[in-house]
Each structure stands twice: as structure tokens, then as C-alpha cells.
Amino acid sequence: MNLELSEEQTAVRQLAKDFTDREITPHVVEWDRAESVDRSIVRKLGALGFLGLTIPEEYGGSGGDHLAYCLVTEELGRGDSSVRGIVSVSLGLVAKTVAHWGTEEQKRRWLPGLTSGELVGCFGLTEPGTGSDAGNLTTRAVRAGDDYIINGSKMFITNGTWADVVLLFARSTDAPGHRGVSAFLVPTDTPGLTRREIHGKLGLRGQATAELFLEDVRVPASAMIASEGKGFSVAMSALAKGRMSVAAGCVGIAQAALDSAVKYATEREQFGRTIAHHQLVQELITDIAVDVDAARLLTWRVADLIDRGQPFVTEASKAKLFASEAAVRAANNALQVFGGYGYIDEYPAGKLLRDARVMTLYEGTSQIQKLVIGRALTGVSAF
Ligand SMILES: Cc1cc2nc3c(=O)[nH]c(=O)nc-3n(C[C@H](O)[C@H](O)[C@H](O)COP(=O)(O)OP(=O)(O)OC[C@H]3O[C@@H](n4cnc5c(N)ncnc54)[C@H](O)[C@@H]3O)c2cc1C
């Protein structure tokens, strides 16, 4: 892998950096306190092509490779993980899945809106009773003539109350476990689909996370994406690339922790000199810097593998595992550098730590990533 970025990658990274510094960073505290980012950000992301990266231009996408996608995700994550998450889900989990698995009709119906930001997508896999054990989900889709009727509920759905379409996973046959699961593209204004926003989250407070309830939701059979019983493969392929996106977002958090810790350490004085002169403070900053580099290299490796059409699933789990744990460590170390000021939300470290904390939980907990990696190493599945 050549670690020197191409002209195009350098340009898109700079575009994302400028956008983050101009449109996101100044509002971060306000959005966090209000428990909502400004919704106009979605259209702005779309206008710059950030919601269409890796999607073919014929469907409204902006093309680009997976490294470019990582660079943009990293910059957005440096600014606000709530904004980064909107992109990781609407583009990363939904639009990319439609582009990969969808019929021509599904691509034409959904991709132009999702890539422009006119539409928002959400990913409905987790249920109240099945999180890590998603293959045993219980939402049911029953065939009725040319339609399916869906009943059940979904939990912790990012973009849930904002979304126009949900990529929904439901059990449509009696085959046991994940073999009975199918995937559907369900417009969120379909009668019988209701949503409730979840408030009081520790972090990602600017992001709309919701419960979805489905009561006799009728969709045409043409809403199924991929074939019957293929839903779990669809979900896992989306999440494998999704883990790269989460890892890139974590690099952004760790980078923000580093930038803010260095700035503060070179300004704050104690014992007659800046705290940067104290070697134990330098140690905290050094530990953050090493985490940033290691997480970034693991993440870029995944992008490189995907772009070269090589197997990447285990490497994506390694990157997500390391980068998410590194983001928590980095934000915690930054908070230590800030001392008591790190504990109030006028300074960035506290929010970085609160946002980082969910990264070891969603899109597969750290324990689940270890099982995926362990299975690849030993050939023995613990699932
Ligand atoms: C803010 C937020 C946003 C989210 N967004 C989405 C979304 O957009 N779409 C979606 O579908 N889901 C989403 N999720 C759900 C998320 O993916 C799940 O929370 C996650 O998969 C874990 O499931 P759980 O919370 O039910 O925990 P559980 O699965 O109940 O796990 C609890 C604990 O047990 C451990 N554990 C479970 N099984 C094993 C095992 N076999 N071996 C070892 N340890 C194990 C876990 O690692 C964890 O520590 C989101 C969650 C949050 C908090």
C-alpha cells in the first residue's frame, strides 16, 4: 500500500477538513446540549458529495474510493461524531447496500435522494431482545399475495426519527436462526410504522436514535433486497464495511483529542511554566499520538483491501476493535491533560469521551469483534 495520498484524496480530505472547521466545530457544544444537530447539515453534506462517496455517478453518487471515504469520515468524526454517524449509516450502511445488492429499480428509486441528502436512511437490525445475537431476531414478515406484512420492533436505530427509508431485517421463513432472515427497503411513512426518539444518551446526543414499531406494515414483495433468506448476509456485508467507517470516525475522535490536548498543554501554566513542560503530561499526549497513528494505519489498510478487491472482514474487525478502544483511551487521556476543565462541556475532551464510549458497543461490541477475529485465526466459531 502506498501511504502517499493521491491528488484527489488530498483534495477531498481538505474539503472535509474545511467543511468540518466551518460548519460543524462552531456548533458542537450547542448541538450536544440541544440533543440535536441542525438538520440542514444533511443537505450540506449531500451538496459536497460526502453522502455519495463510492456510489456510481449514474445513481447520483460522487464516486471516489474507500480511502477517500475514510478520510472524509475521519474529518467529520474529528468535528462531531453525531454528524459522522449520520453519514456512516445513511451512506455507509444503507446507500452502499442498495448499490451493492439492490435491483435496478431499487437503485433508481433510492440512491439519488440518499446521495443528495434529500433523503435519509436508517438500518433496522437490532431489537429489544436481540443485539449481539442479531441472527435470532424476531420481527416477522409474512407473505400475503404480492405483499409482505411486517410486525415487530427495532431498538437503538441511528437516524431513526429522521429517516425516509429503513433497511429492515425481518424473519420471512421458518428456517432457523439467521437463515430465515430477509431484508426489506421500507419507506418510513408506510402506515403501521411508528417511531419514538430515545433521549438521555451518554454521547452522540446530537444524533436521532429511535425505537421503531411495526404493526401490520404492508410492503410489496419488490421491497425485498437480495433474495429471500439472504437478509443476514446483506446485514453482515453492510456491517463489515461499516466497521471501517466507525474505525475512521474513531481516528477522528482520537485526532481531536490529540489536537486539543497539545493546544491546551502549550497554553496552560502550572508551577511557573506551561504544563507541556511536565514530562508526565507529555506522556499522556504521546500515548494519544501513538493511538492515532496505529488506529489510522489499521483503518487505511481496510480501505486499501476493499479498493483492491481483497478479503477484508477480519481486518475490518481488527481496525474497529483497536480504533474504538483507542478513541476511548485517547479522549480519556485528553481529559486528564485538561484537568478539572476537561470535566465541563465548554472544553472538548468530555464530549469526545462520551461520544467515543459507544464505539466499543455498536456495529458489534469489542467482545464480538474478538470472536470474529478469533474465528478467523482458529477456524473455530464461538457463535
Ligand atoms: C447509540 C446507538 C446507536 C445504534 N445504532 C444502531 C443502528 O443504527 N442500527 C441497529 O440495528 N443497531 C444499532 N445500535 C445497536 C447496537 O448495535 C447494539 O447495542 C449492539 O450490537 C449490542 O447489542 P446489545 O446492546 O443488545 O447488547 P448485548 O448483545 O445484550 O450485549 C451485552 C454484553 O454482553 C456481551 N456479549 C453478548 N454476546 C456475547 C458473546 N457471545 N460472547 C461474549 N460477550 C458477549 C456484549 O459484548 C456486551 O458486553 C445502536 C446502539 C447504540 C447504543
104 is catalytic: no
What is the structure's pLDDT at 2? 86
Q: What residue type is 82 in one-letter code? A: S
Catalytic residue chosen out of the listed positions 74, 75, 325, 363:
363
Residue 353: CB atoms within 10 Å: 23
The per-residue pLDDT for range 204-251, each reduced to its tens digit, is 999 999 999 999 999 999 999 999 999 999 999 999 999 999 999 999
Q: What angle do CA 215, 217, 222 make, to 5 degrees?
A: 155
What is the structure's pLDDT at 279? 98
If one residue of 126, 359, 375 were mutated to test the ligand 1 pocket, choosing by the most ligand atoms within 8 A of its CB, it would be 126
Contact 151, 216 (CB under 8 A): yes
Q: DSSP assignment of 104-136, as one string?
A: HHHHHHHHHHHHHTSS-EEEE---SS-STTGGG
| pLDDT at 382 exceeding the cut of 90 | no
Atom of ligand 1 nearest to the CA of 130: 26
Residue range 123-229 in CATH 2.40.110.10:
yes
DSSP-derived letter for residue 5 is P
**CATH no. of 233-378:** 1.20.140.10
Cα end-to-end distance, the chain, whole Å: 33
The C-alpha cell at 236 is 453482515
Taking the C-alpha atoms of residue 120 and residue 243, their distance in angstroms, rounded to an integer, is: 20
Average confidence (pLDDT) over 82-105: 98
Contact 46, 118 (CB under 8 A): yes
Distance 51 CA to ligand 1 centre (A): 26
What is the structure's pLDDT at 120? 98
Query: 123-229 and 233-378 share one CATH topology?
Result: no
| pLDDT at 361 exceeding the cut of 90 | yes
Fold of 7-120: Butyryl-Coa Dehydrogenase, subunit A; domain 1 (1.10.540)
Domain ranges of the chain: 7-120, 123-229, 233-378
The per-residue pLDDT for range 48-81, each reduced to its tens digit, is 999 999 999 999 999 999 999 999 999 999 999 9
The per-residue pLDDT for range 247-281, each reduced to its tens digit, is 999 999 999 999 999 999 999 999 999 999 999 99
Closest Cα to residue 255, out of 3, 19, 20, 2?
Answer: 20
The per-residue pLDDT for range 312-341, each reduced to its tens digit, is 999 999 999 999 999 999 999 999 999 999
Taking the C-alpha atoms of residue 281 and residue 338, their distance in angstroms, rounded to an integer, is: 10
